[in-house]
Amino acid sequence: MQKVGIGVSVPRKESQDKVTGLAIYNTDYLSPKLLYAWLVTSLYAHAEIKSIDTSEAFKVVGVQAVITGDSYHLLCGPVIEDHPPLAKEKVRYFGEPLAVVIANSEAVAKEAAGKVKVEYNPLPVVNSLASALKEGAPLVHENVAFYKQVKPNEIFSKAGTNIAQHVKIRKGDLPEGWRQSEVIVESNFSLPQSNHIAMEPRNAIAEIKADGQVIIHASTQAPFDVRKILCRCFNLADTQVIVNTPLVGGGFGGKTNVQLEIIAYLASQAVHGRAVKLIESREQDMTSSPGHLGLEARVKIGATRDGTMKALEITLEVDVGAYVDSGSQMTRAMAADCTGPYHIDHVWCDAYGVYTNHTYVTAFRGFGRLSYVFAIERTMDKLAFALGIDPLELRLKNALKSEDTTPTMVRLNKSSIGNLPACLTKIKSMMNWQEGVRRETGSNKVVAKGISCLWKTSSSPPDATSGAIITINEDGTLNLNVGTVEIGSGSKTSLAQILAEKLSMDVNKIHVVMDVNTGISPSHWKTVASMTNFMVGNAVLDAAEDLVEQLRSIASIVLRCPPEVLEVGGGKVYLKEDPEIYIEINEIGNGYEYPEGNSIGGQVIGRGSFIMHHLVHMDKDTGKGKLGPAWTVGAQAVEVEFDTQNYTYKILKAATVIDAGKVLNPKGARGTITGGMCMGLGYGSRESCLYGEGGERKNPQLRTYHLMRFGENPTYLVDFVETPLIVAPYGLRGIAEHGIIGIPAALANALTTAAQVELNQTPLTPETIWQAKRGKLDDSL
């Protein structure tokens, strides 16, 4: 028997489809019955809508309907319902959808959309966090107090201001912390909004059948959430909505948001339920649909002379854009982990989610950690410099360990926190840290290194659930059906590996149901937060146990022995004491027939489920609470070659060591980490949403918004530490997001060391380094 389970680099189950062009994504859903929708989007960031004239659009042959926001009394949103799916009365960001044309072809819909005439009355634009928080600032939302709060335990907005969320952490006694501190450092940071750029642009199809059944096909990370939100917005019953999700062409958090599904539903309604397909152009995907948050941060850290951290005061101002979506949740998540993975007794954090007239934001790989980690880790380097301590040693000295408490007062143990010191020790030798962090290599070139730590918990709802169903085929292979979507993380394959390991089976004998259909698939919270292998993995193990119990029960009759003496493995049920006495599972998986014809059993269906336990909402006044079952910790480093004359640089190496608990699929895990690192290098070095003076988006295209391209990537060094998380399948920890989290900070630390000037913002282009070097006011030669 060939056993292929945990710790083996199993190629992803959908490999053949993905290299032959046969893999089907939602964009590939074609049918002659489809109508096509095209969005009409706002040209202003903040303006009253005086009128929308659709008459010329209607004249284009092939147009079926044109809908505008003023026809609906509808507010949606996952946390607070502040968001009309189509702008009504006023627009709040450049690119905001305000009308939709539905036509026989995309070309016609697009042409007609160009003929919709919108008259605006421009309003003062809230174009930055500073202007949003100024006394008497124009309000992005005038009626925050009247919005329905879907999750009242999780949002604390301030009426009459642009503050949509305020999260407080009050741990210890801050004045006492300052008294104990001998060295205090402070810095301010600024990180812009950015885009997800999943290669498959966001898209959705909606159809409403005559009996009211709503069929959605969506490129989403959250099919069950799409169902939940559609039901809430339109007063539908759960059973009335079915959401189908095939392979998803990347998400990175951007497809957790429910937006196009709602608009496609409205579009279908307008054409008597016919199926309507809505695909965003790349430009719309980058402006009309949500991006990644922007952040301004102020950090003050106090420590004793030997480098023991005593106090932290941190203010986080999060640019959530025009609507809250999950911006409030990310604000909360950042505050909850605000210290970085360091033990500090006295912590104050005020985290504000702030409305602006920028594109709204949603989950992005790391759920906000990438941004605040930049602020903390840059300040750590500043502290190390002030103390004259090596930056890696300072981190090692303060790393969180068993018995320490987090900012939200969770007491840690070895299982929940893992082993950051081991990660730091490994990265130290991988990066040749002892040779020094800066060396001049001749002809104006400097090679410098920077380091960062990371940690992240799940920030999931306390009642997040997952399910799994296993059935047995006539040939003895298994079918595994789960509600997680395959967005590229390889989760379906990892889950098959977990099941293979549990049942001592060849993973090739486990078929996974690739697509998700909310009417058939066991439900799963969302494919997010690096939690799939943990949550669904636990459900799979539960289902496997259920399956084993049933198989032993039937086999005990056939083999004439008590079930307790039987074991299941390798596709057989066998006697523990004598494995030569066995029955193949395919003989009993769908009923067992005795030679004379009598039959027993019936179809064996393994059912499993999982629900989070002992998570606690954060206290409004102190932040005390528990947002996830455990943390994943890690250390990251970057080495750059910097030109001291023209401030260009080359990224030579990037390293990551993560405590993965248990590595399920080594090659897959490495790819997940290096992919995150590459994205982090892109964010640190070039990516940002540029807004003009009127809040209009300046770079909504891949020609002007640059991503890392082939060959610009450095040499990657990746290694793992394995400290088991005892409540997880085989001890694993989530690692899917983490590759990105510390990389922008490590890059900035390396460049700060290289350029010998504090670099406290991104993107770090030669120009921004030059500006920092010369002082902001002197920006002309």
Binding site for other proteins (CB under 8 A): 9, 11-12, 14-25, 27-28, 30, 61-62, 107-108, 111, 197-201, 247-252, 279, 281-282, 487-490, 667-668, 671-672, 674-675, 677-679, 701-703, 707-711, 713, 716
First-to-final CA distance of the chain: 72
Q: What is the DSSP secondary structure assignment for residue 499, as one 8-state letter?
A: H
The residues that bridge with 166 in the sheet, in sequence order, are 352
Spacing of C-alpha 141 from chain mean position: 27
Could you tell me the two tokens for 639? 């080495």
Instruction: Give min distance, CB of 284 to other proteins, in A.
Output: 11
Instruction: Give min distance, CB of 27 to other proteins, in A.
Output: 6
CB closer to other proteins, 112 vs 468: 112
Q: Which of 407, 168, 190 is nearest to 298 (CA)?
A: 190
Instruction: Give min distance, CB of 149 to other proteins, in A.
Output: 34
For residue 124, is it left (φ>0), alpha (ψ between -120 and 50) or beta? beta
CB closer to other proteins, 234 vs 716: 716
CB closer to other proteins, 24 vs 727: 24
Residue 508 contacts residue 697 (beta carbons within 8 Å): no
Largest CA distance in the chain: 97
Residue 700 contacts residue 41 (beta carbons within 8 Å): no
Instruction: Give min distance, CB of 40 to other proteins, in A.
Output: 18
Q: Which residue has the tokens 């995150």?
A: 676
Instruction: Give min distance, CB of 24 to other proteins, in A.
Output: 7
Strand order in the sheet with 35-41: 63-68, 97-103, 35-41, 276-279, 203-208, 214-218, 241-245, 516-517
Residue 421 contacts residue 634 (beta carbons within 8 Å): no
CB closer to other proteins, 315 vs 699: 699
Residue ranges in 711-765 assigned as alpha helix (H): 743-755
CB closer to other proteins, 208 vs 363: 363
CB closer to other proteins, 10 vs 568: 10
Angle at 761 between CA 383 and CA 305, to 5 degrees: 5
What is the DSSP pairing of strand 241-245 with strand 214-218?
parallel
CB closer to other proteins, 107 vs 726: 107
CB closer to other proteins, 14 vs 337: 14
Instruction: Give min distance, CB of 112 to other proteins, in A.
Output: 11
3-state secondary structure 179-245: HHCCEEEEEEEEECCECCCCCCCCEEEEEECCCCCEEEEECCCCHHHHHHHHHHHHCCCHHHEEEEE
DSSP string spanning 511-552? EE--SEETTTSPPBS-S-TT-HHHHHHHHHHHHHHHHHHHHH
Residue ranges in 463-510 assigned as alpha helix (H): 491-502
The residues that bridge with 479 in the sheet, in sequence order, are 471, 511
Instruction: Give min distance, CB of 86 to other proteins, in A.
Output: 24
Query: How many Cβ atoms sit within 10 Å of the Cβ of residue 619?
Result: 15
Instruction: Give min distance, CB of 534 to other proteins, in A.
Output: 19
d(CA 222, CA 261): 11
The H or E element containing residue 101 is strand 97-103
Instruction: Give min distance, CB of 447 to other proteins, in A.
Output: 20
Instruction: Give min distance, CB of 672 to other proteins, in A.
Output: 8
d(CA 93, CA 284): 12
CB closer to other proteins, 28 vs 779: 28
CB closer to other proteins, 355 vs 649: 649
Instruction: Give min distance, CB of 646 to other proteins, in A.
Output: 22
Instruction: Give min distance, CB of 2 to other proteins, in A.
Output: 19
CB closer to other proteins, 703 vs 776: 703
CB closer to other proteins, 62 vs 476: 62
Instruction: Give min distance, CB of 497 to other proteins, in A.
Output: 14
The H or E element containing residue 633 is strand 632-643
Q: What is the DSSP secondary structure assignment for residue 12, as one 8-state letter?
A: P
Strand, helix or coil at 684?
A: helix
Angle at 58 between CA 57 and CA 62, to 5 degrees: 100
Could you tell me the two tokens for 625? 């609470």
Cis peptide before 763 (omega within 30 of 0): yes
CB closer to other proteins, 614 vs 709: 709
